[in-house]
Amino acid sequence: MWRQSCLATRGIDFVAEFSNVGGNMKSSGPLKHFVIPFLIALVLYAVAYTYIENRRTRQGPWEMSFKADNSGAPTLEINEPKLNLAHVQISFPNEKWATTNVNTNFREPKQVPFAVPFGTCIFMDTTFQPGTVVFNLFGHEVQLIPRVLTIDRKEYEWKSGGTYVVTNAPILTNAVGVMPSAK
C-alpha cells in the first residue's frame, strides 16, 4: 500500500499499468507450438528425401539381356546408358543353354542369392545406382562395378560394344541353378 501511494505521488500509476496483464492477451496454446515445427520438419524431410532419392537413382540401374544363340551358346549383354555403356557382351562359348532372351534390370534390391537365367546373383548393392552386382554364371564370377568389370576376379576396362569371351575353367564351386545356402 505504501509503495503504491509513493509511486502514485511520483506520477507513476503502477497498479493501473499492470492490472490487465493477463486479460487482453490470447493464449496461443500448445497446439501452435507443435503444429508449426511439425510442418517445418515435414517440408524439410520432403526436400531432403527428394534430393537423396534423386542422387541415389540418377545414374539408373544395370540393364541386362540373357541370350542364347541358335547353337545354345549363352551371352550376357550389359547396358548402362548413364555410364555410356551399350552392348557389352560376356560370352560363354563352352556352355550350352536353351535358347532364351530374358531382359532385366537391377533397379529394386532383392534378397540374395537369387536365380538368374545362367546362374545366381550372389551379391547386390544398388543403394546408389547402378551399384555393384555379382553373379555366379556357370561357375564364373562376374562382377559389375561402375568403375570396372571383373570376370573370375580379373579386372577389365569397360568398353562399349566390347565382347569378353570366357573359356577358362570355372573358379566357383556352386553349379548353375543351385542356390548357395544363405549364411
> In the predicted model, is pLDDT for residue 48 greater than 80?
yes
- pLDDT at residue number 13: 53
- pLDDT at residue number 145: 92
> In the predicted model, is pLDDT for residue 182 greater than 50?
no
pLDDT-based confidence at 26, cuts 50/70/90? low
**Quick check: 179 and 161 in contact, CB under 8 A?**
no
Annotated domain spans of the chain: 2-57, 63-165
- pLDDT at residue number 180: 40
Q: What is the C-alpha separation between 61 and 105, in angstroms, rounded?
A: 6
Overall pTM surpassing 0.85 (yes/no): no
pLDDT-based confidence at 178, cuts 50/70/90? very low
Q: What is the C-alpha separation between 68 and 98, in angstroms, rounded?
A: 7
- pLDDT at residue number 42: 95
How large is the average pLDDT for residues 42-50? Answer: 95
Q: What is the C-alpha separation between 132 and 106, in angstroms, rounded?
A: 10
Sheet with 85-91, edge to edge strand ranges: 101-105, 63-68, 74-80, 85-91, 163-165
pLDDT-based confidence at 176, cuts 50/70/90? very low
Q: Regarding predicted confidence, which is higher, 18 or 89?
A: 89
pLDDT-based confidence at 5, cuts 50/70/90? low
pLDDT-based confidence at 32, cuts 50/70/90? confident
pLDDT-based confidence at 175, cuts 50/70/90? very low
- pLDDT at residue number 136: 92
**Would you tell me how many other CB atoms lie within 10 Å of the CB of residue 159?**
11
Instruction: List, for residues 131-161, the tens digit of each pLDDT value.
Output: 899 999 998 999 999 999 999 999 999 999 9
- pLDDT at residue number 47: 95
pLDDT-based confidence at 43, cuts 50/70/90? very high
